[in-house]
Structure formats: C-alpha cells, structure tokens
Amino acid sequence: MLRLFRRRRRRSRTAAPTITPRSEGLAAVRVELAELTPAAEPFLGQAGYLLLVLFENLGRAVALAPTTAAKTTLSRAAAQVLEAHEGLVTELLSSGADPVAAMDPFRQPLDEYQRRIEGNDWAEILVTCYLTTGFLTDFFVGVAGGLPPGLADRVALLLDVDRAEQVLEGELRSLIEQNPRMASRLAMWGRRLIGDTMLVARSALVAAPGADGPQLDRIEPVFTELIGAHTRRMDALGLTA
C-alpha cells in the first residue's frame, strides 16, 4: 500500500504507530481542494475548533474504554488531536491573529455537529471516532493544500494524527461478533454520521472566496474519494456503508 501522506513518528517510543493505509485517490483530494481553500485565519479557526470536537469524542471513548490497553491507546490518539489543536492555535498566534476570535464563529455550528454525532453508548462512540476522525482530517489536509506553501506543509503534518483506527476497529469487531444484531443499528448510525460530517466538510469550502456553483461541482470527485475511504472503513467492520 502506498503511503501518500507523511506519518509522524514522534510517538514511536511508546508503541508501534497505527499505520493507516490510505488510497492513491486521496492524494488527488489535496490537489482538487487546494483552489477552494479559505483564507488562512478562518481555515485555522475552523480546523482548530473541529479538533476540539474530535477530541471530545475521543475523550469520551477514553473514559468508557473497558480495558487499560484500549484506554491508553485511545488516550494517545486524544493527545495527538489536542497537540494538533495547539499547533493550529500557535499558527494563529504567530500570524498575529487572536485564536479565540478565529475559532469562535465556528463554535455554534460545530458544537451542534458534536451533539448530533456524539453517540449514546460505547459502540456508537467508537463508530463516531472511527469514521469522523479519518474523514475530516483527510478532508482538511486536502483543503490545507491551498494555504501558503510553508503553512500548508506544517498544517498537513499537524493534521496527520494517530486515529487509533486499529484499536477502534478491533473493539468494534469484537462488539459486533458478540452481538451480531448490533450491526444494522451501527450501519445506520454510520450513514447518519457521514451525512452530518459531509455537511461540515462542505461548509469549510463554501467560505472560500469566489466559491460558486461550478467551483463546488469540482468537489464531487473529491467526496467520491473520501467516501471510498469511508466505505473501506465500514467494510472492515463488515458493515454496509
């Protein structure tokens, strides 16, 4: 499997990093989205607040994890997401922006998104973390391609977080094996999640200067790739996307 995104290895002291196989098609996402990238400040503000939302979900997963091993692996993923958040806050500060003011316009819609996707039990929380962290970080790495070159690279590196996909997948597979009737409920939950997640992704682009109908048409093949990656995640659980 080609590895088209750089992986950080900083955490390799404490455990083997989770290597996420990513498709060739996702490389194209980066190119396609670059032209629809908003200005640096709203991009960093939205991505910065979004990472807090992804963190909240991982934090709930840490709290509910039934074993020490799952808890500590998920906490590593949560830590990387917070580190990425802080990295974006640092970028805002060094550009002279007020990080709180940059994030604030995205608070209400992203809090609303979080409430919709947070899930009601351990299984739903796992599905949320598993599906949304990958989708949204892939997407925002793609959008970051349109930022000024140095910033684009730093942001792509920050957003290349450990998604703990292996542990999430393992926990979910064992839940579904123990209770196969859970599969249809989780498949439905996954579909609802991804609908809400695509709306959040789109909203990042609508803010782009000059974005209009024809430009937005260009997003469709991008979403096709992201949904392909999403479908592979669902397949790995034996669920229908």
Q: Which residues fall within 8 angstroms of residue 7, CB to CB, at 6 or more apart? A: 17, 19, 20, 160
Q: How far is residue 147 CA from its own chain's centroid?
A: 19
CB of 45 vs a copy of itself, minimal distance in Å: 9
Chain residues 57-76 in contact with a copy of itself, contact rule CB under 8 A: 59-60, 62-63, 67-69, 71-72, 75-76
The radius of gyration of the chain from alpha carbons, rounded to an integer in Å, stands at 17
Degrees, nearest 5: CA angle 74-60-198 = 90
CA distance 50 to 43: 10
In the bound complex, what is the minimum distance in angstroms from residue 118's beta carbon to a copy of itself? Answer: 9
Contact segment (CB under 8 A) with a copy of itself among 24-32, 45-53, 137-145, 152-160 equals 45-53
Find the helix or strand (DSSP H, E) in which 141 lies: helix 122-144
Is 13 a binding residue for a copy of itself by CB under 8 A? The answer is yes
Q: Does 154 contact a copy of itself by CB under 8 A? A: no
List residues near a copy of itself by CB under 8 A: 11, 13-14, 48-49, 52, 55-56, 59-60, 62-63, 67-69, 71-72, 75-76, 78-79, 82-83, 85-86, 89-90, 93, 99-100, 103-104, 107
